[in-house]
Amino acid sequence: MAMNRILMRLGRVYLGLILVFLYVPIMVMAAMSFNASEFYQLPIVFTTDWYARLWNNSAILDAAWNSIWIASVTTIIATALGTAAAIAFFRYDFRGKAILQVLLFPPIAIPWLITGTAMLIFFFAIGIGRGSRAVLLGHVALALPYVIVVVTARLRTFDPQLEEAARSLGASSWEVTRFVTLPWIAPGVTAGALFAFAVSFDQFVVSYFLSKPGDVTLPVLIYSAIRKGFTPEINAVSTIIIVFSMAMMVVVARYAKFGER
C-alpha cells in the first residue's frame, strides 16, 4: 500500500514536470508577446503593440496567408483523396492492395529532411521546381497517409453488410457512400482532415526546401526571422497560432466526438 502511494505520488510529480516543460515555455512566450520591453525585461508592462505591428508587417501577413491557404487546399485534397482511397481499400480486393497498404507507412516514418530533399530533386527533374505548387504537392503527399490511416481505423468498426443492404435497396455506389458509409466514418474523416491541416500548417522542413525565397510559409518565415534576430512580433504571431490550434482542437473534439464510437 505504502509503495503504491509513493508510486502514485511519483507519477503525479512526473506528470507535473511534463506539463511544466510543455507549457511554461509557451506561457512565457505568450506573456512576452504582451510585454512592452523588446528585451524581455520584467516586470511586464502590458501592451498590444506587437500585435498591432503584425498588421503592418506585410512579410508576416503574406506568409500567414500562404500558410493558411496551402494548409486549407492540402486539407481538402488530402482528405478527399485519402477518404476515397480508404473506402476503396475497404470495399474492393485487387491485385497489389497489400503492397499499396504497406507502402503507406514509410512516408510517415522517413525523416522529413530526406523526404524534402528527395522531393526537391524530383520536382526539379520534372520541371516543377520550387514554389507554391511544389509546396502544395509536397504537403498533400505528406498528409495523405495520415488521412488514409485514420479513416481506415474508423472503417474497421463499420459493418460491410450495411453497404450490401443499401445496394439491395437500390442505392448506387455514390448513394451508398453518401448516405451510409460517410455518416459512419465522418468522425474519422474529420480527424483525418485535422491531421492533414496540422501536417501542412506546422510543416517546416519540406516547406523550407520547396518554397521560393520571398514566397514562404509562416514556419519558414519564423525560422528566418529568428536567425536574423528575435523580435516580440514573432512571439505575437506564435501566440496567435497556438490559440488558433487549440480552439480548433476544442471545436473538433466537441462536435466530431472522435474517441466515442
Partner 1 sequence: MAEIRVSHVDKIYGATKALDDVSIDFADGEFYGLLGPSGSGKTTLLRTVAGFISADRGSVVIGGEPMEQVPVEKREIGMVFQNYALFPNMDVTANIGFGLRVRKLSGQEISRRVADVLDLVQLGELGARRPHQLSGGQRQRVALARAIVTQPRVLLLDEPLGALDKALRVEMQVELKRIQREVGITTIFVTHDQEEALTLSDHIGILKDGRLVQQGTPQEVYHRPADRFAACFLGDANIFDGGRLPSGEGGGSVAVRPESMWISMARPEDAAVIALQATLRQKIFKGATVTCLLDWHGQVIKVLAKGDELAGIADVGEVWVSWPREKSMRIPADR
Rounded to a whole number of angstroms, the minimum distance from the CB of residue 165 to partner 1 is 4
- Dist. CA 49–CA 51, nearest whole Å: 5
Residue 168 touching partner 1 (CB under 8 A): yes
To 10 degrees, what angle do helices 232-256 and 49-56 make? 90
Residue 157 touching partner 1 (CB under 8 A): no
User: In the complex with partner 1, which residue's Cβ is closer, 57 or 181?
Assistant: 181
User: In the complex with partner 1, which residue's Cβ is closer, 58 or 161?
Assistant: 161
Binding to partner 1, residues 112-131 (CB under 8 A): none
Nearest to 30 by CA among 245, 221, 219, 232: 232
Residue 261: HSE in the Cβ half-sphere, 13 Å Cα cutoff? 3
Binding to partner 1, residues 29-88 (CB under 8 A): none
Residue 166 touching partner 1 (CB under 8 A): yes
Residue 151 touching partner 1 (CB under 8 A): no
Residue 164 touching partner 1 (CB under 8 A): yes
* Helix%, strand%, coil% for the chain, nearest 5: 75, 0, 20
Residue 162 touching partner 1 (CB under 8 A): yes
For residues 224 and 216, the answer to whether their CB atoms sit within 8 Å is yes
User: In the complex with partner 1, which residue's Cβ is closer, 90 or 204?
Assistant: 90
Q: How much is the CA Rg of the chain, to the nearest whole Å?
A: 23
- Dist. CA 33–CA 56, nearest whole Å: 16
Residue 10 touching partner 1 (CB under 8 A): no
* Binding span for partner 1 by CB under 8 A among 126-134, 138-146, 177-185, 210-218: 177-185
Rounded to a whole number of angstroms, the minimum distance from the CB of residue 99 to partner 1 is 22
* Binding span for partner 1 by CB under 8 A among 97-105, 125-133, 158-166, 242-250: 158-166
Residue 194 touching partner 1 (CB under 8 A): no
Residue from 40, 179, 244, 255 touching partner 1 (CB under 8 A): that is 179
Residue 175 touching partner 1 (CB under 8 A): yes
Q: Which long-range contacts (CB under 8 A, 24 or more apart) does 106-112 make?
A: 107/141, 107/142, 107/144, 107/145, 108/145, 108/146, 108/149, 112/142, 112/203, 112/205, 112/206
For residues 158 and 185, the answer to whether their CB atoms sit within 8 Å is yes
Residue 249 touching partner 1 (CB under 8 A): no
Residue from 81, 167, 238, 253 touching partner 1 (CB under 8 A): that is 167
Nearest to 233 by CA among 19, 38, 45, 74: 38
Using CB under 8 A, list all residues that contact partner 1: 159, 161-162, 164-172, 175, 179-180, 183-184
